[in-house]
Structure 1
Amino acid sequence: MIPRGLHALLDAASAAGLVSVPALMGWRGELRWGMAAAGAGVAAYSLLTRYDEDGQAPLSMREHLALDGLQGVAFCLAGARERDATARRALLAYGAFSIAAAALTDPGPGRVPVPRQVPLSRDSILRSARGGRTEEIAQDVAWRRLGIVNVVFLGPPGAGDRGWVLVDAGLNGTARMIEAAAAERFGHGARPRAIVLTHGHFDHVGALQQLARRWDAPIYAHTLEHPFLTGQAAYPLGDPTLTGAMAALCGFYPTAPVDVSPRLQALPEDGSLPGLPGWRWIHTPGHAPGHVSLWRERDRTLVAGDAVVTTRQESALAVLRQAPEMHGPPAYFTPDWTAARHSVRRLADLAPEVIVAGHGPPMGGARMRMALHDLARHFDDLAVPHGGRYAPQRGSGLVVTHDDRR
C-alpha cells in the first residue's frame, strides 16, 4: 500500500506536472488550459484533504481517493478521444496512474457514522419556514430560520421599545434580517430589553456585536460561556471525522471568541430571565460548557438551544430539507457527551409541549415528547458517536456537574 504521506507528495508533483508539462511540450492551447485546470483542481482538493487522522481539513482520505479515481477515469476517456499520439499516451498514462494511486493508497479509517436518531413525521412540526417569514409558535414566542440556524423572539406582538427579548443572534451577515423581523413583530425602532445567548458558537453570535451596538442592548449568558464572549478562550475544534457534509466542513467553522465584554452580563443566579416573567434558564452543558435552555412552565414551552435539535444537523441534505427528527446536539461541535446526556435527560423530564431548537423546525405534541424521551433513554446508542475526536470511553463512569442555581 502507498503511505498517505507519500501520496501527498505525489499529489503535489501531479498538480505541478499537469500545469507545467503541457506548456513545455507545446501542446495546443485548448488541451494546455484543460490540463492546467485539472492541476489546479488536484491542488485544491489536496489542500482540503486530511492526510492524517489528526488533521482539520474537511475531506477524508477516502473521499480524496474517490476524486483521484474519478479523475483517472476522466483522463483515460479524454486520452481515448485525443488525436495527437504524444498527448494521447500522456493522458492515458496519467489516467492509469491516478486510478492505480487511488486503488493502492492506504485510505486510513473511515468517517464515523452519525445516523438518524428518532425520526418524526412532519405532522409534529408547528410551523415551517415559508418565504423567510417569522412565525409565532406559542403565545409571545416567535421563531425565524436564518439559513442553518434559528433565532427566537420572546415578547408579545407590538411590545414596543424594550418590551421583548432576542434569543441568540444567528450567523454573520444576518443582522439586517433580524432587525427587520423585530421591527415587523414589535414595532419600528423597538429595541430588545436584552439579548440572551444559549451559547456562543459562531452560528449563534454572528450578528451579536452589530445588533448589541445598534440596539444598545445588554447581553446575558452563563458565566461558563463568558471566556468565549470576552476574547479570552476559543472553543474546541470541530470533529470532521464524522459523516455528513456539515460535519465534513466543520474545520472551516470559526471557533475563535468574540469580545462583547462591555455589554456582557451573567444570567441571574436565581434562574430568572431579565424582562421575561414566567421564564427561567436551565443549565444544559455538553455542546458548550455554559449552554443554557429556556423554559416556561405555564404552557411547557422549551427553547432548547443546541442541547437537542430537531433535524440531523450533520447532514447538509437534512438541513436543506429541514427533515424532522429528535436529535442530540450537533455531533461535530459537541466535546462533552457525558454532560450532553445528562442535559437531554433533564429536558426530557420537563415533558415539553412545544420545543424550538437552535437547528430544525419547531415541534410540538405527544409524538414529539415520546421522541424526546426515546432520545434521552437511548442517548448513548443514538446520539453519541462510536468514534471520532470527542467520543467518550464506553463505561467511563464520568460524572457531570450542572449549575442548579434556580
Structure 2
Amino acid sequence: MLQFDASPAAILARLIRCPSVTPAEGGALQELEIMLESLGFAVERPVFREDGTPDVENLLASAGDKGPHLAFAGHTDVVPPGPDSDWRHPPFSAAVDGSEMFGRGTVDMKGGIACFLAAVARVLAKGPPPGRISFLITGDEEGPAINGTVKLLRFAAEKGERFDACLVGEPTNPNAIGDMIKIGRRGSLSGTLTVEGRQGHVAYPHLAENPVRGLVTLLDALHAEPLDRGNERFQATNLEATVLDSGGVASFNVIPARASASFNVRFNDEWTPDTLKAEILRRLDEAASIQRLRADRNDPIRYRVEWKEPPSDAFLTRDEKLVGILAGAVEAVTGRTPELSTSGGTSDARFVKDYCPVAEFGLVGRTMHMANERVALSDLDTLTEIYELFITRWFAAFA
C-alpha cells in the first residue's frame, strides 16, 4: 500500500516547496528519496566535487532485478525565481490558482519528474517491476553541469548499471502536450575572441592601434557566410556574439589596448567540435592576414581565441523502439502525432547519449525560467498517462 499521495499534482507540490535553486539540494532529493523508497527503490545520493565548482548532490534510484533497463533522467535544481513581487503567488508555495499550479520548476523540470514517478507508481501497483527501472536525478543541470548527470552516469556505470534506453523529462512541447519529442540536439561550442591593439588618445590615432576595428572585422568574417544551410535532421548552424568588452576603459577619448567578444555556436551534425574550431580559425586567419588595424600599418590583426567549457556534440537518436513506442504512446493519449525534433538548446541528454539511446518528452515549456512559471493540472494528468503507457509498452516490446 502506498505511503504517499502518488497523484502527479501532489508529488509536484512536495517538490516545488523545496527551494532547490541551483546548486542547492533544498530538500527536493530528500523528498524523492522518501517516495522512491516507499515504492521499493534502492536509493543512493552521491555528492560530486571538482575544484572551482560547487559540490552537487545527486540521486540514483533503481528497482527490479533483471530484464530490460529503462532509465528516467532529470533535474531538481531550478533557476533563481527573482523578486517575489514579480510572482502572483510565492515561487515555492506550489499554489493552485484555478486550473494551474504556480511555482519555480513546475515545468522545468520538477513537473516531468513528478509525472514519471506517478506513472511508475501506477505501473508498480499492478505488480512487480516489468524489468529494471532507474531514476537519474541531478542538482546541476541549471548550473555548470560538471558535477551532475555526466558524473552520475559514470558512477552508475562503475556500479555495473547498463541502460537499454533513457527518457529525459525536459519540457519539450511548445504549445500543447503531444506537440514534440526531442530525438537529438545540436552541439554547442563557446569561445572568446580577443584582438590586441595599442592604447592611446583618440585625438592621436597614429600613435595607437584600435583593437575594436580589428574585432569588428573578424566578427564580420565569422558572420559573412553561413556555416551551413542545415539538413533534413537539423536546422542550420548559427554563431552568435554574446558579450563585447574593451577592457573597461571608462572614457570616450581613450583607445583601448584590447577588445574581446564572447561567442557561442549551436551546430548540427555536419560538424564536430574539432572541424568547427578549424573552420572558425581558418576564417579568422584569412581575415586577419588581409586586414589591418589601420590602413597605414602593415602588420596583420593580432588575435587569439580561448575555447571555453567542454563543447557538446550534436547527436541524433535512431532507436526505433524507444522513439516509436514513445511517439505511439503520445498519439494514443493525445490524438496528436508529435514532431520528432532536434531544435532548441542543449540538455543533459547530451551526456546520456554516450550510454544508451535517449529521447526527451515532457511538459509545455512556455513559462520555463519566467516569473509565474506554472503548469496546467490537466497537463500533469496527461503526461502521467503518456508515461504510464510508454513504460508498459516499452517493457512489453522485450517480451
TM over 0.5: no
TM-score of Structure 1 vs Structure 2, range by shorter chain: under 0.3
Question: Which is richer in helix?
Answer: 1
Higher relative contact order (CA 8 A, sep 6+): 2
TM-score (norm 2): 0.25
TM-score (norm 1): 0.25
